Amino acid sequence: MKKLLGIIVVVLILAVAGFVGAAYWSGRQAERWYQDALAQGTNNPDIKLSTTSYQRGLFSSQIETRVQFTLPEAHDPNQPDPSFTIRQEVYHGPLPLAGRGVPGVPMQWGGAVVRATLDPNSSAWTRELAKWYGDQEPMVAISRVGFDGASDTSITVPPLNLEQVGDDLQSLKFSGLQGQFQVAPHNAAIQGGMSADSLEVVGKPMEAGADQPVGIGQFGLRNLTVTVNQRKGAFDLMFGESSLKIGELRGQDQPAKTPFAIDNLSVTGNLSQTTPEQVAGEVIFKADKVTVGEQSGTGSVRLALGKLDGATAARIEQWQQKTAGKLDDPQALDDLLELMKALLRGKPEFVLDTQATLAQGEWRGKLTLNFQDPGAINPAQDPMSLLGALEKGLADITASKPLVETVLIGQAKQNLQAQLKEQGQEAGEQAVQTMAEQQVAQQLQGLMAAGFVRLEGDRYQTTARFEGGKLFVNDQEIPLAPSVDQESSNDVETMPLMPDDGVKEEEMPSAPGSDAEKPSQEKPTPQ
């Protein structure tokens, strides 16, 4: 009996020791996970993460992390500092005791559970947010961390329904936000997303006689989703897809009260490895319907980069992380130019594809550029020398005749009205319309006569091709540099490719019914 009792005592001691040791070990693992997450966050030079407090216990720890932002030089010193503090409560495993009695923290076997919240007193905006939410916490993130460092994080932002918010907002309604992310050990992969049903913001109306608007007008969105599915691959780059989608985006600016709306807006980005040495990426913007005032249409933009040297692309990303894209440092700019030269050695491809459908017709434009090894140039001494790496290019633009004429006439009207105002003259709306139509008709006829634009049915079409150091527009070669005879000649007239910024007074057609239609020795003046 005594032997049995002794064995039981030894087993209990070993169990307790094992539990304590395991808890201590899981605490160390949780600390390593936190340090890895901190290091990952510091890759962005615009954000600085620092630990202001780390109180480590046997079964739980309390951490405070300060988030600071690199402010631009033009930042108003009177504006509050956007920096804030995150509080983290870490509950260690290994038995399912973590988070006992803590709201929202599940029981978990193994690893640790981390509960993160905003410190309401850490900044001006967190204090304001705390007032809005009252007894509720504005944000709660709960991460379940395994022994291998993998984590599963849920994020919750509660709803809001406020009236008379500060000096600028009349109302603020927010459905709340939910998010879920899974991160593999050592940040080798990330998958998840966030979503919000709606956000409605209404600014206070302008006061009578006020020169400047008060507030932001109106703004609203519905069905917001953000997704990410990426995995670390070659060159330590994150391959995969991320997207942002908004079911409905609408608003109205304050001064002009011009409404706008976008239906089913999506922005999708993708990076993939195409060969052992090369990567490719693309970004696609798409909207089912865009409405501004009384005009509406649909469109998309695709930007693609292919045949990118993977190692150089990774170095460019590192440069971006180091400098945050700031080119005020001459050395940073020189480094970027050298990286661009190295990237061009891989003979990359660039594609810009746009299309739009409006009430007046359709637009389609595609630009393709192929590059070659730039050779022994020094881009730091002559950045424009990088343009010599262009091997060939092709631009193809097709647009409906009514759409082109409507856009050009609108531009011409604005130019004419500005010129008339500058000259202290006036002309009626119909007179300016007639002048703009005449001007655009002359310009389009000139462009077609010169061969720069073709009219095929009810569509204007232009094709530009660069190859072998030569430029062709609609198969007509265009000299890239004027000859000596052209430079010395005063009789050569050049045809503008786009409407002039302004029309000289003596070239401006007279308004119908004006005195300028009658024979006179005086200069015609628009009425």
Q: Tell me, what DSSP letter sits at residue 524?
A: P
- Tokens 């000259």, residue? 423
The closest alpha carbon to 303, from 397, 367, 259, belongs to 367
Is the predicted pLDDT of residue 430 greater than 90, yes or no? no
Q: Worst-scoring range by mean pLDDT, 110-114, 325-329, 335-339, 520-524? A: 520-524
Q: Tell me, what DSSP letter sits at residue 507?
A: G
Instruction: Give first-to-last CA distance, the chain, whole Å.
Output: 120
Cβ(49)–Cβ(80) below 8 Å? no
Which amino acid is located at 382 in the chain? D
Q: What is the mean pLDDT of the chain?
A: 79
Residue scoring higher pLDDT (387 or 189):
189
Cβ(497)–Cβ(474) below 8 Å? no
- Tokens 């905006």, residue? 125
Q: Longest C-alpha distance within the chain, in Å?
A: 133
Integer angstrom CA distances of residue 90 from 37, 55, 56, 366: 14, 10, 9, 53
pLDDT tens-digit series, residues 208-253? 555 554 456 788 999 999 999 999 999 999 999 999 999 999 988 7
Residue scoring higher pLDDT (72 or 292):
292
The β-bridge partners of 370 are 349, 392
DSSP string, 325-381: T---SHHHHHHHHHHHHHHHTT--EEEEEEEEEETTEEEEEEEEEEE----S--TTT
Q: If you average pLDDT over residues 137-157, what whole number do you get?
A: 87
Q: Worst-scoring range by mean pLDDT, 222-226, 370-374, 495-499, 510-514? A: 495-499
Tokens of 134: 């009252």
Q: Phi-psi region for residue 398, left (φ > 0), alpha (ψ -120 to 50) or beta?
A: beta
This prediction's pTM = 0.77
Question: Residue-wise over 181-199: b if at least 16 C-beta within 10 A, else e?
Answer: bebeeebebbebbbbbebb
Q: Tell me, what DSSP letter sits at residue 505?
A: G
Q: For residue 502, count other CB atoms closer than 10 A to its CB.
A: 14
Cβ(339)–Cβ(312) below 8 Å? yes
Q: How confident is the model at residue 262 (pLDDT cuts 50, 70, 90)?
A: very high
3-class state of residue 211 by DSSP: coil
Cis peptide before 479 (omega within 30 of 0): no
Rounded Cα distance between 385 and 186, Å, is 41
- Tokens 């040297």, residue? 309
Cβ(265)–Cβ(299) below 8 Å? no
**Element spanning 227, H or E:** strand 218-232
Q: Worst-scoring range by mean pLDDT, 18-32, 58-72, 285-299, 324-338? A: 18-32
**Element spanning 517, H or E:** none
Residue scoring higher pLDDT (8 or 463):
463
Q: Tell me, what DSSP letter sits at residue 105?
A: P
Is the predicted pLDDT of residue 483 greater than 90, yes or no? no
Tokens of 202: 């209404």
Is the predicted pLDDT of residue 488 greater than 60, yes or no? no
Pairing status of strand 361-371 against strand 189-203: unpaired
Q: What is the pLDDT of residue 525?
A: 41
Q: What is the pLDDT of residue 493?
A: 40
Rounded Cα distance between 109 and 22, Å, is 12
